[in-house]
Amino acid sequence: MEISHAFYKTDLGYVLLGHDGKGICFLQLGDTQKELLCILQTTYKNATLKQMTPTQEKKFAVLVKNLVAGKGKGNAKITLSAQGTPFQEKVWRYLEKIPVGKTRSYTDVAKAIKQPKAVRAVAGACAANRVGLLIPCHRILRSDGDFSGYRWGRNRKVTLLKREGIA
Protein backbone atom coordinates (compact mmCIF):
# COMPACT_ATOMS: atom_id res chain seq x y z
CA MET A 1 0.00 0.00 0.00
CA GLU A 2 1.18 3.50 -0.79
CA ILE A 3 -0.09 6.51 1.15
CA SER A 4 0.49 10.03 -0.06
CA HIS A 5 0.22 12.62 2.67
CA ALA A 6 0.28 16.35 3.33
CA PHE A 7 0.54 18.54 6.40
CA TYR A 8 -1.64 21.58 6.93
CA LYS A 9 -0.90 24.19 9.60
CA THR A 10 -4.12 25.39 11.27
CA ASP A 11 -5.05 27.28 14.40
CA LEU A 12 -5.89 23.89 15.96
CA GLY A 13 -2.36 22.63 15.31
CA TYR A 14 -1.22 20.52 12.41
CA VAL A 15 -3.50 18.33 10.33
CA LEU A 16 -2.04 15.34 8.51
CA LEU A 17 -4.13 13.98 5.66
CA GLY A 18 -3.31 10.63 4.08
CA HIS A 19 -4.73 9.19 0.86
CA ASP A 20 -4.22 5.57 -0.12
CA GLY A 21 -5.25 5.85 -3.77
CA LYS A 22 -8.82 4.75 -2.97
CA GLY A 23 -9.70 7.57 -0.60
CA ILE A 24 -8.76 9.47 2.50
CA CYS A 25 -7.53 6.92 5.03
CA PHE A 26 -6.01 9.24 7.62
CA LEU A 27 -6.90 12.71 8.85
CA GLN A 28 -5.69 13.62 12.31
CA LEU A 29 -4.82 16.62 14.42
CA GLY A 30 -1.60 17.06 16.37
CA ASP A 31 0.87 19.47 17.85
CA THR A 32 3.82 18.60 15.60
CA GLN A 33 4.40 17.16 12.16
CA LYS A 34 6.78 14.61 13.66
CA GLU A 35 4.12 13.35 16.07
CA LEU A 36 1.54 12.95 13.31
CA LEU A 37 3.95 11.27 10.91
CA CYS A 38 4.87 8.80 13.65
CA ILE A 39 1.17 7.99 14.20
CA LEU A 40 0.68 7.50 10.45
CA GLN A 41 3.72 5.20 10.26
CA THR A 42 2.56 3.20 13.29
CA THR A 43 -0.99 2.92 11.97
CA TYR A 44 0.12 1.74 8.52
CA LYS A 45 3.30 -0.21 9.32
CA ASN A 46 3.59 -1.83 5.89
CA ALA A 47 2.71 1.22 3.82
CA THR A 48 5.10 3.23 1.71
CA LEU A 49 4.65 6.89 2.63
CA LYS A 50 5.29 9.74 0.24
CA GLN A 51 4.63 13.45 0.21
CA MET A 52 1.64 14.53 -1.88
CA THR A 53 2.28 16.45 -5.04
CA PRO A 54 1.54 20.19 -4.84
CA THR A 55 -1.58 19.60 -6.97
CA GLN A 56 -2.89 16.92 -4.61
CA GLU A 57 -2.04 19.06 -1.60
CA LYS A 58 -4.00 22.02 -3.01
CA LYS A 59 -6.96 19.76 -3.79
CA PHE A 60 -7.38 18.89 -0.11
CA ALA A 61 -6.41 22.29 1.37
CA VAL A 62 -9.93 23.73 1.02
CA LEU A 63 -11.45 20.61 2.57
CA VAL A 64 -9.13 20.83 5.60
CA LYS A 65 -9.81 24.57 5.94
CA ASN A 66 -13.60 23.97 5.95
CA LEU A 67 -13.37 21.09 8.42
CA VAL A 68 -11.25 23.08 10.88
CA ALA A 69 -13.57 26.11 10.49
CA GLY A 70 -16.53 23.98 11.58
CA LYS A 71 -18.19 23.98 8.16
CA GLY A 72 -18.01 20.24 7.59
CA LYS A 73 -17.10 18.87 4.18
CA GLY A 74 -18.96 21.62 2.39
CA ASN A 75 -19.61 20.58 -1.20
CA ALA A 76 -16.45 18.49 -1.37
CA LYS A 77 -16.92 15.11 -3.01
CA ILE A 78 -14.61 12.84 -1.09
CA THR A 79 -14.10 9.15 -0.77
CA LEU A 80 -13.15 7.69 2.56
CA SER A 81 -10.98 4.64 2.88
CA ALA A 82 -11.45 4.19 6.62
CA GLN A 83 -11.28 0.55 7.60
CA GLY A 84 -12.34 -0.90 10.90
CA THR A 85 -14.33 -3.74 12.38
CA PRO A 86 -17.91 -4.17 11.15
CA PHE A 87 -19.12 -2.57 14.39
CA GLN A 88 -16.78 0.43 14.07
CA GLU A 89 -17.83 0.96 10.46
CA LYS A 90 -21.50 0.85 11.48
CA VAL A 91 -20.86 3.54 14.11
CA TRP A 92 -18.82 5.63 11.68
CA ARG A 93 -21.54 5.50 8.99
CA TYR A 94 -24.00 6.81 11.56
CA LEU A 95 -21.63 9.58 12.70
CA GLU A 96 -21.17 10.75 9.09
CA LYS A 97 -24.92 11.47 8.96
CA ILE A 98 -24.89 13.85 11.94
CA PRO A 99 -25.26 17.33 10.46
CA VAL A 100 -22.94 20.22 11.22
CA GLY A 101 -24.23 22.00 14.31
CA LYS A 102 -25.90 18.93 15.83
CA THR A 103 -24.73 16.50 18.50
CA ARG A 104 -25.67 13.07 19.77
CA SER A 105 -24.78 11.17 22.91
CA TYR A 106 -22.95 7.86 22.95
CA THR A 107 -26.25 6.36 24.15
CA ASP A 108 -28.13 7.92 21.21
CA VAL A 109 -25.66 6.39 18.78
CA ALA A 110 -25.88 2.95 20.41
CA LYS A 111 -29.69 3.05 20.17
CA ALA A 112 -29.63 4.34 16.59
CA ILE A 113 -27.47 1.45 15.42
CA LYS A 114 -29.80 -0.98 17.22
CA GLN A 115 -27.27 -1.96 19.88
CA PRO A 116 -28.47 -0.01 22.93
CA LYS A 117 -26.14 -1.77 25.37
CA ALA A 118 -23.02 -0.99 23.30
CA VAL A 119 -22.44 2.51 24.68
CA ARG A 120 -18.82 1.83 25.66
CA ALA A 121 -18.16 0.13 22.34
CA VAL A 122 -19.48 3.25 20.58
CA ALA A 123 -16.98 5.32 22.57
CA GLY A 124 -14.26 2.88 21.53
CA ALA A 125 -15.26 3.20 17.87
CA CYS A 126 -15.04 6.98 18.16
CA ALA A 127 -11.56 6.68 19.68
CA ALA A 128 -10.47 4.35 16.84
CA ASN A 129 -11.53 6.84 14.16
CA ARG A 130 -8.56 7.45 11.82
CA VAL A 131 -10.26 10.22 9.86
CA GLY A 132 -11.27 12.72 12.49
CA LEU A 133 -13.43 15.63 11.35
CA LEU A 134 -14.61 13.65 8.31
CA ILE A 135 -16.20 11.12 10.62
CA PRO A 136 -17.26 13.75 13.16
CA CYS A 137 -16.73 12.02 16.49
CA HIS A 138 -16.34 15.47 18.06
CA ARG A 139 -20.16 15.77 17.80
CA ILE A 140 -20.65 12.96 20.32
CA LEU A 141 -21.25 14.02 23.92
CA ARG A 142 -21.96 12.24 27.16
CA SER A 143 -25.63 11.72 28.04
CA ASP A 144 -25.41 14.52 30.61
CA GLY A 145 -24.27 16.94 27.87
CA ASP A 146 -20.64 17.05 29.04
CA PHE A 147 -18.16 17.30 26.18
CA SER A 148 -16.18 14.34 27.56
CA GLY A 149 -12.81 13.45 26.15
CA TYR A 150 -11.58 13.68 22.62
CA ARG A 151 -8.73 11.83 21.01
CA TRP A 152 -7.15 15.09 19.89
CA GLY A 153 -7.80 16.97 23.14
CA ARG A 154 -10.83 18.39 24.88
CA ASN A 155 -9.88 21.99 23.94
CA ARG A 156 -9.91 21.10 20.25
CA LYS A 157 -13.31 19.43 20.66
CA VAL A 158 -14.77 22.47 22.41
CA THR A 159 -13.34 24.79 19.73
CA LEU A 160 -14.79 22.67 16.92
CA LEU A 161 -18.20 22.56 18.60
CA LYS A 162 -18.15 26.34 19.13
CA ARG A 163 -17.35 26.85 15.47
CA GLU A 164 -20.36 24.72 14.60
CA GLY A 165 -22.51 26.87 16.89
CA ILE A 166 -22.95 24.17 19.53
CA ALA A 167 -20.89 25.14 22.58
Strands 48-51 and 24-30: unpaired
Q: Are 138 and 32 in contact (CB under 8 A)?
A: no
**What is the β-pairing status of strands 2-10 and 13-19?**
antiparallel
Query: Residue 25 catalytic?
Result: no
Residues 6+ apart with CB under 8 A from 115: 87, 121
Residues whose CB falls within 8 Å of the CB of residue 31, separated by 6 or more in sequence, listed in order: 13, 14
Q: How many CB atoms lie within 10 A of CB 34?
A: 10
Closest of 154, 152, 161 to residue 14, by C-alpha: 152
By the 8 A CB rule, do 124 and 102 touch?
no
Catalytic residues: 137
